[in-house]
């Protein structure tokens, strides 16, 4: 953990530096408030700081205010060092955004204990952020395949369709449905069925570009949103997906399982005003046509052919 020490007075700065280094921290020391604020506002800047109250350029409370205003991604734990001891001063310091204060001359034992308190607060924040990120991921992704969840991909598709006119780029959607997947579950069991779904998801993801969206729409149904793809490109991409999924049997714990995918494609041009439901409906119709025509193929929706 890197700690910033800001103090214009050399003796105090050196004593702090040495004490903090001895406690096992990495130290960056500066001698004025402006440099302290710059260091702390950097995205990879120190997350814990000891700031002298009286400093040139910016005083300690002003550094606290600057940091709180500019850097909001992750909390920076700020400790003001002060020889001011009136309640008014302490309140002013804490109201400026400081988390704690330490009176000068500092006691090394107390300083180390306050740093540990800061570390605990930062660790707690890290854990909360991690938990929030984990929950966000779980809420937006399918737990079996790790693809986007149905709700998330529909939301993203809706956003892309709203932007489609200003971006002047066509958007294509591809509905995929595994052929005879019920037979896989019935023959090999649901655990193998899950293994197949995971591998199919991996193969679809490997067939699209990093900025396309892939989601699990239902049991064995997948939805792919292809950004900036007109009819020809979309059909080529759908064909690549079909080949990637059906090209070789899926290796499972029960041995290789052959599987194929039928796909329906629908294209929304910038001039189109079709709502999301109708675009999905067209792709669903094309998927139905692919199934009817013998499965393991790609079909284009009727209005996308125009």
Partner 1 sequence: MTNSEHASIEQYVNMPELLARVDNDSELLTELFALFQEDSPKLRDALDNAVRAGDLRQAEKTAHALKGMLANLSMKHGATLAANLEAAARAGDEGEIQRAMAAFNADETGLLAAVGRFMAGGEP
* Nearest-approach distance from CB 84 to partner 1, in angstroms: 9
Whether the Cβ atoms of residue 79 and residue 60 lie closer than 8 Å to each other: no
Q: How far is CA 120 from CA 32, 45, 95, 288, in A?
A: 27, 18, 21, 57
271 within 8 A of 306, measured Cβ to Cβ: no
Cβ nearer to partner 1, comparing 31 with 303: 31
Distance of closest approach, residue 43 Cβ to partner 1, in angstroms:
32
CB–CB of 259/196 below 8 Å? yes
Nearer to partner 1, 107 or 186 (CB): 107
Task: For the CB of residue 101, give the shortest distance to partner 1 in the complex, in Å.
Answer: 15
Which is the catalytic residue, given 195, 199, 220, 282? 220
Give buried/exposed letters for 62-97 (b at 16+ CB in 10 A, else e): bbbbbbeeebeeebbbbbbbbebeeeebbebbbebb
Nearer to partner 1, 10 or 144 (CB): 10
Residues 6 or more apart whose Cβ sits within 8 Å of residue 303: 266, 274, 282
**CA dist., res. 264 & res. 173, Å (int):** 8
Nearer to partner 1, 109 or 294 (CB): 109
Least distance (Å) from partner 1 to the CB of residue 105?
4
According to DSSP H, which parts of the chain are helical? 10-22, 33-41, 60-70, 87-95, 108-140, 150-167, 181-188, 190-205, 231-246, 276-292
Closest C-alpha among 41, 43, 291, 40 to residue 51:
40
Question: Is 220 noted as a catalytic residue in this protein?
Answer: yes
The torsion angles phi and psi of 171, rounded to 5 degrees, stand at: -125, 135
Phi-psi region of 130 (alpha: psi -120 to 50; beta: other; left: phi over 0): alpha
Nearer to partner 1, 105 or 218 (CB): 105
To partner 1, the closest distance from the beta carbon of 87 in angstroms equals 18
Structure-token pair, residue 283? 């792709």
From CA 84, how far away is CA 26, in angstroms rounded? Answer: 28
Q: What residues make contact with partner 1 under the rule CB under 8 A?
A: 8-12, 14-15, 18-19, 22, 52, 54, 83, 104-108
Shorter beta-carbon distance to partner 1: residue 54 or 276: 54
Q: Name which of 41 and 54 has its Cβ closer to partner 1.
A: 54
Provide the token pair at 127. 């854990």
Question: Which residues are identified as catalytic?
Answer: 220
């Amino acid at each position: 953990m890197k700690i910033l020490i800001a103090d214009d007075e050399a003796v105090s700065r050196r004593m702090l530096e040495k004490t903090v280094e001895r406690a096992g921290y990495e130290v960056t020391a500066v001698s004025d408030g402006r440099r302290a604020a710059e260091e702390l506002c950097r995205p990879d800047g120190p997350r814990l700081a000891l700031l002298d109250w009286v400093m040139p350029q910016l005083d300690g409370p002003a550094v606290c205010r600057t940091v709180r205003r500019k850097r909001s991604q992750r909390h920076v734990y700020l400790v003001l060092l002060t020889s001011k001891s009136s309640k008014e001063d302490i309140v002013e310091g804490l109201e400026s955004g400081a988390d704690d204060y330490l009176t000068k001359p500092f006691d090394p034992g107390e300083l180390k204990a306050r740093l540990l308190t800061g570390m605990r607060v930062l660790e707690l924040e890290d854990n909360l952020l991690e938990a929030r990120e984990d929950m966000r991921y779980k809420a937006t992704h399918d737990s079996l395949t790790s693809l986007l969840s149905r709700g998330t991909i529909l939301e993203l598709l809706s956003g892309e369709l709203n932007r489609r006119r200003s971006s002047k780029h066509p958007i294509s959607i591809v509905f995929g449905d595994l052929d005879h997947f019920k037979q896989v579950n019935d023959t090999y069991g649901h655990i193998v069925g899950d293994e197949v779904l995971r591998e199919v998801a991996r193969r679809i993801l490997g067939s699209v570009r990093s900025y396309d969206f892939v989601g699990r729409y239902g049991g064995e149904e997948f939805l792919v949103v292809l950004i900036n793809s007109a009819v020809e490109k979309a059909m080529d991409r759908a064909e690549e997906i079909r080949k990637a999924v059906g090209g070789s049997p899926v290796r499972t714990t029960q041995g290789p399982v052959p599987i194929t995918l039928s796909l329906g494609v629908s294209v929304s041009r910038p001039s189109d005003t079709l709502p999301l439901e109708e675009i999905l409906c067209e792709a669903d119709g094309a998927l139905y046509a692919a199934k009817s025509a013998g499965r393991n193929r790609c079909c284009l929706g009727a209005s996308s052919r125009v």
